[in-house]
Amino acid sequence: MVLIHPGGFTVWFTGLSGAGKTTVARLVGEELERLDLAVEHLDGDVVRTHLSGGLGFSKSDRDANVDRIGWVASRLTRHGAAVLVSSISPYEAMRRRARERVEAYGAFVEVFVDVSLEECARRDVKGLYARAFAGEIEHFTGVSDPYEPPSNPDLVVRTGDEDPHASARRVLDKLAELGVVPDGARV
Amino acid sequence: MVLIHPGGFTVWFTGLSGAGKTTVARLVGEELERLDLAVEHLDGDVVRTHLSGGLGFSKSDRDANVDRIGWVASRLTRHGAAVLVSSISPYEAMRRRARERVEAYGAFVEVFVDVSLEECARRDVKGLYARAFAGEIEHFTGVSDPYEPPSNPDLVVRTGDEDPHASARRVLDKLAELGVVPDGARV
């Protein structure tokens, strides 16, 4: 038995609502499971259910939410999990804090899912943008609340210009390049 | 690499404020680390900082807090951690829910730290009982809020009658008996 299971890491997908964070993270997760990694997907909705019930969308509540995800991600990384986070996480400072927490135990890979507000609003999968533009939702990122793009992301994927599978492939290539998934794996 | 790291488990210490849950859990944790296990101690205060900031002590907030701890404990158990929870966790139903979550991945060992209200109030390490009896703290477990003792705990320790080291030793003996710490380990 070992004190710390080696090999844990966190891939943190940040971007606007509807950018495709969850979709790409799921595809990455499926491939990581095929590689026999123990995946934990901390998706925005899962987290709001299990960790952050009661928190809203003010800056302080958003910060608390992201900080909580970062803390759990760091604990799981310590124990060897392949952690996938998909969360708007709009503030650079809180993403940096998450990185610091995680890097105490394993790699932190920030993936900016970079899709324009116009494209996200056009997709409007959940019908939220229409309501946000109509003023029915306060604190909606990109509409009535800020989004700070990563200044130095480990990877940028643009699901507006490529298929989500292609984006997932590039994430997996990056993980192989960083040595956090096995060399020579079919990724 | 394996999909699930085997061997994770959660020891859940429940009992009144001041019963000695944290003290015994720390002693157990130190010994588990000597056995090279990867320990995560989800202590009441740690959890209130990292997971449950903003929650109070109403029944619904207490339930949310305990449910959150149970969820995190289950995720960590899945990845092979030796999880120690020290939390008043006054309601049987929520402890049962935590057990169900954890047992999907590993053993759940409920330890009732059974010390009388009178003894806890006499110790009053944090000065909280004096304030609770004076009516200055609402929802104080055992004084102005219920505590439901476990109906079927895996182990009962009474730090009123024995040294915390003796209590910790009995927890470790139980873990050895359950086979979740190595056979023949000096516990």
Q: pLDDT digit string (tens) for B114-160?
A: 999 999 999 998 999 999 999 999 999 999 999 999 999 999 999 98
**Contact between residue B106 and residue B81 where contact means Cβ atoms under 8 Å apart:** no
In whole numbers, what is the pLDDT of chain B averaged over residues? 92
Residue A3 binned pLDDT confidence (cut-offs 50, 70, 90): very low
- Closest C-alpha to A24, from A111, A99, A134: A111
Active site residue A89: yes
**Within-domain flag for B158:** yes
A147 is a domain residue: yes
Number of domain units in chain A: 1
Domain that holds residue A32: 9-177
What DSSP designation does B139 have? S
* Sheet strands side by side (includes A107-113): A39-43, A82-86, A9-14, A107-113, A155-157
Please judge whether A53 and B64 are an interchain contact, meaning their C-beta atoms are less than 8 angstroms apart.
Answer: yes
Q: Which pLDDT belongs to residue A2?
A: 38
| Cβ <8 Å between B3 and A33 | yes
pLDDT computed for residue B53 by the predictor: 83
pLDDT digits (tens, 9 = 90+) for A169-181: 999 999 999 999 8
Amino acid at A69: I
Inside any domain, residue B2: no
Task: Please state whether beta strands B155-157 and B107-113 pair in parallel, antiparallel, or not at all (unpaired).
Answer: parallel
The answer on pLDDT for A183 being more than 70 is no
Q: Do A79 and B38 touch (CB under 8 A)?
A: yes
Q: What is the pLDDT of residues B156-172, one digit of tens each?
A: 999 988 999 999 999 99
Q: If pLDDT is split at 50, 70 and 90, which confidence band does B5 have?
A: low
Q: The sheet that has B9-14: what strands, in order across it?
A: B39-43, B82-86, B9-14, B107-113, B155-157
Q: What tokens does A12 get?
A: 């943190």
Find the angle CA(B157)-CA(B163)-CA(B166) to the nearest 5 degrees: 65
Q: What is the CA radius of gyration of chain A?
A: 16
Q: Which residue among the candidates A17, A52, A87, A89 is catalytic per the annotation?
A: A89
Asked whether the predicted pLDDT for residue A1 surpasses 50, the reply is no
CA distances in angstroms from B156 to A89, B11, B135, listed in the order given: 43, 12, 30
Domain assignment present for A14: yes
Q: Is residue B63 part of a domain?
A: yes
Name residue, tokens 């999909």: B3
Q: Which of A136, A159, A129, A137 is nearest to A13 (CA)?
A: A159
Q: Decide if A17 is inside a domain.
A: yes
Residue A133 has pLDDT above 60, yes or no: yes
Q: What is the pLDDT of residues A64-123, one digit of tens each?
A: 999 999 999 999 999 999 999 999 999 999 999 999 999 999 999 999 999 999 999 999
Residue pair A110/B113 in contact by the 8 Å Cβ criterion: no
In the A/B pair of chains, how many CB contacts fall below 8 A? 77
Q: Is B133 part of any domain? A: yes
What ipTM was estimated for this complex? Answer: 0.88
Whether the per-residue pLDDT at B49 is higher than 60: the answer is yes
Phi, psi for residue A76 in degrees, rounded to 5: -70, -40
- CATH code of residue A26: 3.40.50.300
Mean pLDDT of chain A: 92
Tell if the CB–CB gap between A3 and B33 is shorter than 8 Å.
yes
**Minimum Cα–Cα distance from A41: chain B residue:** B75
pLDDT at site B3: 39
Does residue B69 contact residue B42 with C-beta atoms inside 8 Å?
Answer: yes
For residue B38, the distance in angstroms to the closest alpha carbon of chain A comes to 5
Residue B42 · residue A8 · CB < 8 Å? no
Buried/exposed A52-85: b ≥16 CB within 10 Å, e otherwise: beebebeeeebbbbbbbbbbbbbbbbbbbbbbbb
Substitution target from A31, A42, A50 for chain B, most B beta carbons within 10 A: A50
**Which residue of chain A comes nearest to B72, CA vs CA?**
A72
Examine residue B4 and state whether it is found in any structural domain, yes or no. Answer: no
**Residue type for position A24:** V
Calculate how close chain B gets to A14, using CA atoms only, in Å.
21
